Amino acid sequence: MALLRRNLKIFVTVMMVNLFIFILISRNSGQDKNGLHKVVIPSKAFWTKLLPHPAYWNQQQQVLNFHSNPVLQGNWTAAELPGWLNASGLTSDPCRPNYKVTTQIKDYNSLPDRFKDFLVYMRCRSYAAIMDQPHVCREPPFLLLAVKSLAPHFDRRQAIRQSWGRAGVTANRTVATVFLLGNTTAGDHHPDLSAMLRYEGERHRDLIQWGFRDSFFNLTVKEVLFLEWIQARCAGARFIFKGDDDVFVNTRRILEFLAGLPEPRAKDLFVGDVITNAGPHRDKKVKYFIPESMFVGTYPPYAGGGGYLFSGDLAARLHNASRQVALYPIDDVYTGMCLQKLGLAPEKHKGFRTFNIEEKYRYNPCAYKSLMLVHPRTPQEMIQIWSWLSSPGLTCQ
């Protein structure tokens, strides 16, 4: 008992000494040798000087970030604002050609024409609709299939209508299909197909066309216009699949997948064949070539543009986020940037095969039963695969 009391006394003494030392340190930590409180000065400025990024896209994003952030704007008066941060280019007519860019990018004259065209019209996001289908979502569909297409691709669109894009009721769920088109121009040596497109639009009532130049670099414009169209015409769609017109989509498998989703996951759903740790190609021979004068950095995770699936709720938020992200000439990367702006990332799903499946499985009907998307497929292959999967006699292990 005496030993226990002695140990307890030692323990209390040690604790009191430690408390006394802590009080001394706390009282003197902010004082100099004369007992006066010292002012702690940060080793570097909290606000660093805002300088324009040398890469043109990065600089345009800086401008958008600045003008959408009231905290940053509060540190500047109108007189102090550097010229490169001036918002006049954002608030004046953004669809007028911006020829200033020809002197703002050092290697502009040596860039391919597709870059010049994109850069001159980079700020334009508003184009008139040539064809619209306001009736498509009069009764909001459970699943909206939105297919990026080009005017001459009549056979692809018809194959989709006869197979995986058949509108109506599938697996007790309402499915609607629209095809997204721009304008093919004589300047790109396209034949005039406007009369045939009008006929197709009147017959099938599923074409949405805008008056922008339909090119690879303008797929981002198509993305922005489609997000706007959803809010205006189809805000009630529960889920949206968006993809190319050369893919096969197992619509029934998608509906099975969606039926089993818990509500929290459904709200933020964005799944596809996700690419991570990627960056711009610097080889001029590659289709996705981006020069350093235009963009520097790494890409956020993004789903391959062959096709991805997302919720209608997220579509509304992507539409808002897109206003704060400068247009980028690769549409799937741009969508990844918009997701990043929302603090989200796409989810990889093994059912999306944007780089095809092994050749030995391509003519096996059962290889497609558990998949959601396979790329690429011809119109004939789309119809054939759909016929396989629709056969009541198909049995797979």
d(CA 181, CA 222): 8
Predicted confidence (pLDDT) per residue in 321-345, tens digit:
999 999 999 999 999 999 999 999 9
**What pLDDT does residue 16 have?**
65
Question: What's the pTM?
Answer: 0.87
CATH 3.90.550.50 is the classification of domain 129-390: yes
Banded model confidence at residue 397, pLDDT cuts 50, 70, 90? confident
Predicted confidence (pLDDT) per residue in 66-105, tens digit:
988 888 787 777 777 888 887 655 667 899 999 999 999 9
* DSSP secondary structure, 90-145, as one string: HHS-TTS--TTHHHHSTTGGGS-HHHHHHHHTTT-----EEE--TTTTSS--SEEE
Domain ranges of the chain: 56-92, 129-390
Tokens of 346: 């796409």
**Whether 114 contacts 188, CB under 8 Å:** no
pLDDT beyond 70 at 1:
no
**What pLDDT does residue 40 have?**
67
The stretch 281-310 carries a mean pLDDT of 96
**Contacting residues for 95 by C-beta, under 8 A, at least 6 apart:** 121, 123, 124, 126, 127
Q: 32-41, 220-229, 373-382: which has the minimum mean pLDDT?
A: 32-41
Q: How far is CA 313 from the centre of its chain?
A: 14
d(CA 235, CA 315): 8
Banded model confidence at residue 50, pLDDT cuts 50, 70, 90? confident
**Whether 342 contacts 316, CB under 8 Å:** no
**What pLDDT does residue 23 have?**
54
Tokens of 168: 């109506």
Count the Cβ atoms, other than its own, within 10 Å of residue 128.
Answer: 9
Banded model confidence at residue 253, pLDDT cuts 50, 70, 90? very high
**What pLDDT does residue 10 have?**
55
Predicted confidence (pLDDT) per residue in 127-152, tens digit:
999 999 999 999 999 999 999 999 99
Distances, alpha carbon 144 to alpha carbons 168, 240, 262, 278, in Å: 11, 5, 20, 29
Predicted confidence (pLDDT) per residue in 177-212, tens digit:
999 999 987 677 889 999 999 999 999 999 999 999
**What pLDDT does residue 2 have?**
55
**What pLDDT does residue 82 have?**
84
**What pLDDT does residue 80 have?**
76
Rounded (10°) angle between helices 312-322 and 219-233: 120
pLDDT beyond 70 at 271:
yes
Burial of 232-248, coded b for 16+ CB within 10 Å and e otherwise, reads ebbeebbbbbbbbbbbb
**Whether 374 contacts 307, CB under 8 Å:** no
**What pLDDT does residue 93 have?**
87
Mean per-residue pLDDT of the chain: 90
